[in-house]
């Protein structure tokens, strides 16, 4: 197997993308996914409990 096949994409994105039209907003689905993930991860980071702070509670 040549390097080209080895390093070829699992998902081929080399085709014209889909676009979201919402009022004056035009957004590629890929960008929407990236932005959506960013917001989701930001919110998750705020809400998910942070591990490994047991010592402090014990010390209380």
Applying CB under 8 A, which residues contact other proteins? 2-19, 24-31, 33-35, 37-38, 41-42, 44-48, 50, 53, 55-57, 59-60
Q: What minimum distance in Å lies between the beta carbon of 54 and other proteins?
A: 10
Q: How far is the CB of 8 from other proteins (least distance, A)?
A: 7
Name the phi and psi angles at 27, rounded to 5.
-140, 135
DSSP alpha helices (H): ranges in 1-60?
3-6, 29-47, 54-59
């Amino acid at each position: 197997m040549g390097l080209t096949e080895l390093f070829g994409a699992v998902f081929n994105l080399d085709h014209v993308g889909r676009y979201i039209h919402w009022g004056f907003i035009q957004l590629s689905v890929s960008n929407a996914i990236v932005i959506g993930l960013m917001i989701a991860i930001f919110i998750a980071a705020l809400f998910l409990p942070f591990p490994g702070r047991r010592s402090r509670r014990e010390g209380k």
